[in-house]
């Protein structure tokens, strides 16, 4: 797959996949988008505030930006996070080195942390900081086996339903729903009608929230 590194409006990089005509993030700002959807609307949601430990599932590890932001947000919230991320097509070392997140984000030792996240071996647990343990799995979300009643928060960050319709179906949503604890939170950027319908049919209570720059709304689901 031919991929190209681009710069988004907030100065942070993203990736453009030529064959799919699809970006990894919003062209209006990759960091801004990740921060808004996954950290502010997911990690910082009221449901999860009281918990000292959190189990997060990410669909689509990609550049590692969501993992990096979560790792530092965990220091802010004083939570211990277990982060399971699924990615069948990892970036190359050359692509990872070209990403500028660690040059932009104002966190202590952000370069080392970003490097440790990417250097973590696939299929094993790796402690990145006192607050953050990552497990990267190199396979499709369609093939992963998840434990029941375990996940507190889901970052659903696959390619869009137009490009990957097979990932935005009841089949995968049900697997994810069953893996979540009751009161768990699910966040994603797509508000397409059939995505909302499939999530509702699966059992999620969903709500629309204001989106980041360039996007009117995003979706948040709760398992009750
Ligand atoms: C919209 S990008 C987001 C990536 C990432 N969260 C980030 O911040 O860079 C979608 C990601 O989903 C990955 N992906 C593609 N097919 C997948 C599948 N079947 N299961 C899980 N992830 C998949 C892509 O390779 C890509 O990294």
Q: Which atom of ligand 1 is nearest to the CA of 160?
A: 1
Between strands 13-17 and 22-23, the pairing is antiparallel
| Mutate which of 87, 92, 153, 176 for ligand 1 pocket (most atoms within 8 A of beta carbon) | 87
d(CA 104, CA 11): 8
Query: Which of 72, 85, 62, 60 lies closest to 5, judged by CA?
Result: 62
**CATH number of the domain where residue 47 is located:** 3.40.50.150
Any domain includes 19 = no
d(CA 223, CA 200): 10
Any domain includes 10 = no
Query: How is residue 85 written in tokens?
Result: 């991320």
pLDDT band at 224 (very low <50, low <70, confident <90, very high): confident
Any domain includes 17 = no
d(CA 188, CA 160): 10
Any domain includes 5 = no
Any domain includes 18 = no
Any domain includes 61 = yes
User: Using one digit for the tens of pLDDT, what is the confidence trace for 167-183?
Assistant: 999 999 999 999 999 99
Q: Which atom of ligand 1 is nearest to the CA of 58?
A: 6
State the average pLDDT over residues 68-75: 97
Flag whether pLDDT at 1 surpasses 90. no
Residues with C-beta less than 6 Å from any ligand 1 atom: 24, 34, 59-63, 65-66, 86-89, 140-142, 157-159, 167
What is residue 13's predicted lDDT score, i.e. its pLDDT? 97
Element (H, E) at 98: helix 93-98
Query: Which of 118, 37, 117 lies closest to 72, judged by CA?
Result: 117
What is residue 4's predicted lDDT score, i.e. its pLDDT? 97
Query: How is residue 137 written in tokens?
Result: 């799995």
Any domain includes 13 = no
Residue 173, domain extent: 30-223
Q: Which atom of ligand 1 is nearest to the CA of 62?
A: 27
User: Using one digit for the tens of pLDDT, what is the confidence trace for 97-120?
Assistant: 999 999 999 999 999 999 999 999
User: Using one digit for the tens of pLDDT, what is the confidence trace for 112-147?
Assistant: 999 999 999 999 999 999 999 999 999 999 999 999
Flag whether pLDDT at 217 surpasses 90. yes
Which residue's CA is minimally distant from atom 18 of ligand 1?
140
Q: Which atom of ligand 1 is nearest to the CA of 30?
A: 8
Any domain includes 62 = yes
Q: How many structural domains does the chain have? A: 1
């Amino acid at each position: 797959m031919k991929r190209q590194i681009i710069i988004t409006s907030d100065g942070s990089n993203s990736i453009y996949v030529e064959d799919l005509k699809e970006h990894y993030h919003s062209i209006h700002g990759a960091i801004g988008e990740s921060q808004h959807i996954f950290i502010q609307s997911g990690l910082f949601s009221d449901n999860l505030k009281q918990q000292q430990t959190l189990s997060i599932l990410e669909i689509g590890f990609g550049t590692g930006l969501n993992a990096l932001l979560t790792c530092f947000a965990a220091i802010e919230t004083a939570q211990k996070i277990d982060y399971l991320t699924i990615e069948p097509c990892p970036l190359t070392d050359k692509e990872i080195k070209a990403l500028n997140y660690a040059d932009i984000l104002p966190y202590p030792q952000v370069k080392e942390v970003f490097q440790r996240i990417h250097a973590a071996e696939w299929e094993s647990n790796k402690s990145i900081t006192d607050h953050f343990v990552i497990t990267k799995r190199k396979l499709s979300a369609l093939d992963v086996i998840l434990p029941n009643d375990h996940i507190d928060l889901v970052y659903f960050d696959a390619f869009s339903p137009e490009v990957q319709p097979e990932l935005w179906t009841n089949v995968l949503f049900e697997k994810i729903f069953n893996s979540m604890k009751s009161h768990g939170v699910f966040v994603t950027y797509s508000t397409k009608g059939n995505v909302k319908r499939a999530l509702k049919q699966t059992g999620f209570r969903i709500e629309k929230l204001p989106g980041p720059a360039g996007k009117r709304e995003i979706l948040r689901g709760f398992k009750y």
